[in-house]
Amino acid sequence: METIGLACLYGLTAMDDLKTKQVRVIEIIVFGILGIAINIIYKPHSLLSVLGGVGIGLLTILFSYISKEKIGMGDAYIITVTGLYLGFIDTAVLLWLSSLLAAVTGLVLIRKYDNPKMEIPFVPFLLIAYIIMYLIHVLGGIVL
């Protein structure tokens, strides 16, 4: 259930983020309520893990505010909602992986277009990182 919820959240908001570099608050609210309901009904993660995941999002909101939105406030809210679905560890891994993907892409784009002030939408990287994490989980881990 959480997989479908997050895939829909990231898919819908990634499209908005790519087109307008903004995300709709209503989508974040709806999927936040859904995430709370999933945790109440199915209890996929411990309360402490969920609070830790939400805490990562709250720290991201604080960073967004302090940095004058170097990472967008909408992105930070989505990360907070992600904590409801994934708990602490998976939210941390998702944020790390999506940040790494965004950094590499940003470096390539900055070199290509010679524009160090270029802004790139972040939610598509959350979607890509989530797909990677999901595939690793489904395949049973990384086999070298």
As a whole number, the mean pLDDT across the chain is 93
Q: What is the per-residue pLDDT for 31?
A: 96
pLDDT band (50, 70, 90) for residue 109: very high
pLDDT above 90: residue 24: yes
Domain spans, the chain:
2-138
Percent over 90 (pLDDT), the chain? 83
Q: What is the pLDDT of residues 26-57, one digit of tens each?
A: 999 999 999 999 999 999 999 999 999 999 99
**Angle (CA) 63 66 70, round 5°:** 65
Q: Is 4 exposed, middle or buried (0-12, 13-18, 19+ CB in 10 A)?
A: exposed
Average pLDDT over residues 83-106: 97
Its pTM stands at 0.92
Q: What is the per-residue pLDDT for 115?
A: 84
CA-based nearest residue to 43, from 5, 87, 102? 87
Q: What is the per-residue pLDDT for 101?
A: 98
Average pLDDT over residues 73-89: 97
Residues 6+ apart with CB under 8 A from 119: 21
pLDDT band (50, 70, 90) for residue 140: confident
